[in-house]
Structure 1
Amino acid sequence: MEAPQYVAARVQQALAEDTRTHELGIHVDVRGDQMFLRGKVSGAEQRERLGAVAHEAAPGLRMHNEIKIVDYGEPGEDEHLD
């Protein structure tokens, strides 16, 4: 059986290199047969793509996609800087 840190490294490499994701800021944690994805992305579609790529890289693990979606868009109208 492959050591958890090697599985996590393989998944992180897949997330960084896959043309669908190109994501470097996602933390992958493997514990037993569980894989946890943590980090922040700008949209639900990217979150889903990351989950798909991670699952393909480690299909035998039960994945918990804990990636948070944050809005990197324009500042809101009520934000005033004096």
Structure 2
Amino acid sequence: MEAPQYVAARVQQALAEDGRTHELGIRVDIRGDQLFLRGQVSGAEQRERLGQVAHEAAPELRLHNEIKVVDYSEPGEDERLD
């Protein structure tokens, strides 16, 4: 069985390099046979694609997609450009 840090690195690389995702800001944690994805993305479709790519990279693990979908289109209070 592969060491968890190698599996995590493989999943992280897949998320960064796969044409469907190109995502660098996702944290990959592995505990036993559980794979956790954490971070923030701007759309539900991207969240689903990340889960799909992670599952393909490590199909032997149970996936927990804890990525939060954040709407970046609404500027926050501190981002006013007057």
Same fold (TM > 0.5): yes
- The aligned counterpart of 1:47 is 47
Instruction: Find runs of 4+ consecutive structure 1 residues off by over 3 angstroms.
Output: 79-82
**1:1-80 alignment to 2 at 5 Å?**
1-75=1-75
Q: Deviations over 1:57-80 (max 9, x none)?
A: 00000000000000110438xx59
- CA distance in 2 between counterparts of 1:20 and 1:67 reads 16
Query: Larger Rg: 1 or 2?
Result: 1
- CA distance in 2 between counterparts of 1:26 and 1:18 reads 13
Root-mean-square deviation (CA), in Å?
1.7
Larger displacement relative to structure 2 (65-74 or 17-26): 65-74
| Count, aligned residues | 80
Give ranges in structure 1 of 5+ residues lacking alignment: none
- CA distance in 1 between counterparts of 2:74 and 2:65 reads 26
Q: Which amino acid aligns with 2:68?
A: K
TM-score w.r.t. structure 1 length?
0.91
Percent of pairs with identical residues: 85
Secondary structure in 2 matching 1:63:
strand
Q: Which amino acid aligns with 1:58?
A: A
Give ranges in structure 2 of 5+ residues lacking alignment: none
TM-score w.r.t. structure 2 length?
0.91
